[in-house]
Amino acid sequence: MARYLANKNTKEIHDLNNEQENCQINEIKPEHRMPLDSLGEVIKYIRNYGYNGCIWCFPQYHTDLKRIYHH
């Protein structure tokens, strides 16, 4: 199983090793699930495709917070 799970609908990436109740992973429809195997893949999706780390389980890659701090 991949360590990271991207939601293609919300463009949010979850760290499955740090899953929190608020992540609601079980609510992600199967057709919206995209497994990512490495941190390199995660970074690629954040930089190139507008994905965002989940604020609950992957806050260090939660780009919405970074945008707030850069303004």
Decide if pLDDT at 69 tops 50. Answer: no
pLDDT digits (tens, 9 = 90+) for 13-68: 999 999 999 999 999 999 999 999 999 999 999 999 999 999 999 999 997 755 54
Count of C-beta atoms within a 10 Å radius of residue 15: 22
Predicted pLDDT at 66: 53
Range of the domain at 17: 4-70
The DSSP letter of residue 61 is G
For the chain, what is the domain count? 1
